[in-house]
Homo-oligomer: A and B are copies of this chain.
């Protein structure tokens, strides 16, 4: 049977041939693990994803949560799926043994999670959001908060959300209006409205722990005056039992284009003046707490986009192999048998493009997850700091590149299925609709581009960028061993050289205060930077494929040849396209910036 969630062979290639997952077991934290425990976790994830998550993916779409008597009602299939996920321990896969986790590397935890993201993006969101909220409390909460709120989340009894966005402010968090007034008992009373809160209501868990951004009475204006609060749906007594319903009202549900199984809620905090919250971390430091957790969340979002692309790619590949239609251009004799459409050049193009996008982004997501492991388990402070700097730099790409190009992959999957792809009788159109959320949430595409160009590049004196350039050069040097890779390596080198020069120019302009003009075309910069990173990862994959081919294992030769062809596609069909955007960036072209409201 064809695989539907991801290619196991490709995952093994990533883990054991590209990213050296086994090397991680040399580190103290992962010393109990080995390839067998890794593979067992992956195998369990695949089984549960196939058995409990995939079967109701379409049903989630067709039966979005209903608003009834102030509550969100989900289809009954979600809870058993989430329960199976919890029971198998995936919520705490990366958490330490003593905290009740599997103490797996994030690389492995993400590899396991990818199966669920591919099977059912919507149902997977509930544990995903819970992990994010739990990590926030784990990093910044007091011991009491951990005992009262984190432990029940680890135990799977409480779920979590992230409540940032407000109706009037959107991405502009500096303008949020939710207020938090100190109460006599050391807690706070919150008042405000939040929208687009995913997982904001459901009955999958005993309680829901909202992580809410709000402003204290003495808060400075802007982002430096934002604080972080725990606001539970039900209050929690000192003994851990549930208390009264908190003053958090489900004001309504949003009805989305896709990803319909995840409730998107409007929440009112403190309509009755009695919404209890608890400050997490220091006053006015809420956004920086959020940002410190953002890397992991954004890897997760990026991988979510990858996996929707992956699911569509595999489905359309299978379809193209099974569907006979038409003949090749040089053999139009209508009495001959039609060929499978995978034989048509344009179908090959659409499949190879998907493969290059999906497997390139998959590699990057897992690379970032491994880098996250480096930030916590490398031997020295310096090494961990370096890993952090590189991960910080890559995070906008890890989040945004799959959101754009694996969405494009979904569009191609629809096209391969033709009229069938456009119907809801086949799954590919849902993958597109689900994936369309990813360039919007967790920082829109535009926000990511400003984060990269306006913040991340220059951070720590450009330390992350210097590392990246060095790593790309190292990969290039290793590629020189293979003459067959020259044609793949050279376009990347040309791109990196020019990108460096453009980057220096833009950073110089920024330093000189030419802020608006330097940032105006940041979306183009994001594309070029992303293609550079993915191009690098494809060159790395190509080297590993050459190494694999050299082993002369006939059974694997086709796999490695496919890798080389996809690398060739990306490095010769995609990478050189970036010179167009670089020319615009070099010229500081103001065509878009100069457009006036009244001229539209």
Specify the chain B residue showing the minimal Cβ separation from A421. B440
The interface-forming segment of A14-22, A201-209, A590-598 is A590-598
- Across-interface contacts of A222 in B (CB, < 8 A): 332-335
Measured in the bound complex, the distance between the Cα atoms of B338 and A433 in whole Å is 31
Q: How far apart are A498's CB and chain B's nearest CB, in angstroms?
A: 14
- Across-interface contacts of A419 in B (CB, < 8 A): 165, 170, 195-196, 254, 440-441
- Across-interface contacts of A519 in B (CB, < 8 A): 329, 345
Say which residue of B325, B335, B429, B583 sits within 8 Å of A172 (CB atoms).
Answer: B325
The interface-forming segment of A75-83, A369-377, A558-566 is A558-566
The interface-forming segment of A24-32, A475-483, A520-528 is A520-528
Say which residue of B169, B326, B328 sits within 8 Å of A171 (CB atoms).
Answer: B326
Q: A565 with B599: in contact, given A334-B174, A573-B584, A577-B577 (CB under 8 Å)?
A: yes
Measured in the bound complex, the distance between the Cα atoms of B591 and A340 in whole Å is 19
Measured in the bound complex, the distance between the Cα atoms of B444 and A333 in whole Å is 22
Q: Which residues of chain A in 421-441 are interfacial with respect to chain B, using CB atoms and an 8 Å cutoff?
A: 421-425, 429, 432-433, 436-437, 439-441
Q: How far apart are A3's CB and chain B's nearest CB, in angstroms?
A: 12
Q: A171 with B418: in contact, given A221-B335, A257-B429 (CB under 8 Å)?
A: yes
**A330 interfacial contact with B, CB 8 Å:** yes
Complex interface bits, A565-589 against B, C-beta within 8 A gives 1, otherwise 0 = 1001100110011011001100001
Q: A415 with B440: in contact, given A425-B255, A523-B346, A592-B345 (CB under 8 Å)?
A: yes
Measured in the bound complex, the distance between the Cα atoms of B172 and A345 in whole Å is 15
Measured in the bound complex, the distance between the Cα atoms of B423 and A165 in whole Å is 15
**A101 interfacial contact with B, CB 8 Å:** no
Say which residue of B175, B256, B323, B568 sits within 8 Å of A334 (CB atoms).
Answer: B175
One complex includes copies of this chain to the number of 2
Q: Are B599 and A422 in contact (CB under 8 A)?
A: no
Q: How far apart are A383's CB and chain B's nearest CB, in angstroms?
A: 34
Say which residue of B329, B355, B421 sits within 8 Å of A516 (CB atoms).
Answer: B329
- Across-interface contacts of A415 in B (CB, < 8 A): 439-440, 444-446
Specify the chain B residue showing the minimal Cβ separation from A407. B411
Q: Are B317 and A600 in contact (CB under 8 A)?
A: yes
- Among A255, A346, A437, max chain B CB count under 10 A is at A346
Q: A569 with B598: in contact, given A419-B196, A440-B422 (CB under 8 Å)?
A: no
Q: Are A450 and B334 in contact (CB under 8 A)?
A: no
**A454 interfacial contact with B, CB 8 Å:** yes
Measured in the bound complex, the distance between the Cα atoms of B333 and A583 in whole Å is 33
Q: Are A595 and B422 in contact (CB under 8 A)?
A: no
Q: Are B568 and A591 in contact (CB under 8 A)?
A: yes
Measured in the bound complex, the distance between the Cα atoms of B521 and A300 in whole Å is 35
**A395 interfacial contact with B, CB 8 Å:** no
**A342 interfacial contact with B, CB 8 Å:** yes
Complex interface bits, A172-211 against B, C-beta within 8 A gives 1, otherwise 0 = 1011000000000000000000011000000000000000
- Across-interface contacts of A254 in B (CB, < 8 A): 419, 423, 425
Q: Which residues of chain A in 394-415 are interfacial with respect to chain B, using CB atoms and an 8 Å cutoff?
A: 411, 414-415
Measured in the bound complex, the distance between the Cα atoms of B352 and A521 in whole Å is 13
Q: A172 with B329: in contact, given A321-B597, A565-B595, A592-B348 (CB under 8 Å)?
A: no
Q: Are B597 and A446 in contact (CB under 8 A)?
A: no
Measured in the bound complex, the distance between the Cα atoms of B599 and A321 in whole Å is 12
- Across-interface contacts of A569 in B (CB, < 8 A): 591-592
**A223 interfacial contact with B, CB 8 Å:** yes
**A12 interfacial contact with B, CB 8 Å:** no
> Which A-B residue pairs are the 6 nearest by beta carbons?
A222-B334, A562-B599, A349-B592, A345-B520, A172-B326, A257-B429
Kindly list 10 other residue pairs between chains A and B, CB separation below 8 angstroms, not including A352-B591, A576-B583.
A170-B325, A174-B326, A175-B334, A223-B334, A255-B425, A346-B449, A346-B520, A351-B600, A419-B441, A432-B436
Chain A residues in the interface with B (C-beta under 8 A): 165, 168-172, 174-175, 195-196, 221-223, 254-258, 264, 317, 321, 323-330, 332-335, 338, 340, 342-349, 351-352, 355, 411, 414-415, 418-419, 421-425, 429, 432-433, 436-437, 439-441, 444-446, 449-450, 454, 513, 515-516, 519-523, 558-559, 561-562, 565, 568-569, 572-573, 576-577, 579-580, 583-584, 589, 591-600
**A and B contact pairs by CB, cutoff 8 A, 13 listed:** A169-B325, A172-B327, A174-B334, A255-B423, A328-B516, A340-B597, A347-B446, A558-B596, A565-B591, A568-B591, A573-B584, A576-B580, A577-B577
